[in-house]
Structure 1
Amino acid sequence: MITVTLTRNGSDRRIVKFEVSGHANYAKRGQDIVCAGVSAVTVGTVNSIEAVAGVNLPYSIRDGWVSSDIPTQADSSVDERVQLLLESMAVMIGSIQETYGKYVTIQEQFVQ
């Protein structure tokens, strides 16, 4: 199963970190559309944050795992764009979860 963990700031609900781990095991390697979908959404979001918001997002990636701590941007308009893209990622993964909930789960946790 793929687990997507969104860590949010408890006061303003900003996404301050995300982590995606595991494998869907929906189909064999190279044919797993669930894994491919979640991978495309998460890596695409990191790339979009760089291209659209101009922010080089620090992240780590390896087989079956990607994680990023989201820095607060000094420019509030840039920070809003980053958050919009992250919320879009959450919606897209949520859509995948609706159809393939046996293979993908989203968890939210809150920090102060």
Structure 2
Amino acid sequence: MIRACIETWSDGRLLVSCTGHAGYDEHGRDIVCSAVSALVQTLAFSLDEVTHENVKYSFTGGNASIEASSLSDEGKTLLRSFLVGMKAIESAYPDNLAVDTRLFQWEQKGS
């Protein structure tokens, strides 16, 4: 199972961490792993290249992390979009992905 944890603070700091393997299918054929990887990498690259946030990211084996010292409003919008995708995957594949947003501190629009 992939465990994804999204932590934010009221001052705009962000930590996203994903660990583990989905186990939906064999390596190279796992659609859950591929979907999560695509979303995590898109968030990291978009924060870096689109909104020019001060972001550090790492993708190694079954682990991924994204850290930002603060996010602009555009960065927060990207994060919310990322969460929509992650929650959709979690809903469709609850045995393969767990998304923890208990430490998500920003007010979420539409909640």
- Shorter-chain TM-score bucket reads 0.7 to 0.9
TM-score, structure 1 length as denominator? 0.83
Which sections of structure 2, spanning at least 5 residues, go unmatched? 106-111
**TM-score, with length taken from structure 2:** 0.84
Cα deviation, residue 108, structure 1: 2.1
1:110 is aligned to 103
| SS of alignment partner, residue 58 of structure 1 | strand
CA offsets per residue over residues 1-25 of structure 1, 9 Å max, x none? 000101122xx49562110111001
Aligned partners of 1:6 and 1:15 also within 8 Å: no
Deviations 1:86-108 (A, max 9, x none): 11111101010110111001012
More helix by share: 1
1:23 to 2:14 alignment: no
CA drift of 1:26 comes to 0.2
**Contact 1:59-1:69 at 8 Å conserved across structures:** yes
Distance in 2 between residues matched to 1:86 and 1:57, nearest whole Å: 13
Is 1:89 the counterpart of 2:76 in the alignment?
A: no
Secondary structure of the residue aligned to 2:46 is helix
C-alpha contact 2:3 2:18 (8 A) present in aligned 1: yes
Q: Which residue of 1 aligns with 2:57?
A: 59
What does residue range 45-56 of structure 1 map to in structure 2 within 5 Å? 45-56=43-54
CA distance in 2, matches of 1:83, 1:61: 21
Pairwise CA distance, 1:70: 1.5
- Cα-to-partner distance string for 1:40-97 (whole Å, 9 max, x where unaligned): 0000111111222023521122101011222115xxxxx1111111111111010101
Give the 4+ runs in structure 1 shifted more than 4 A. Answer: none
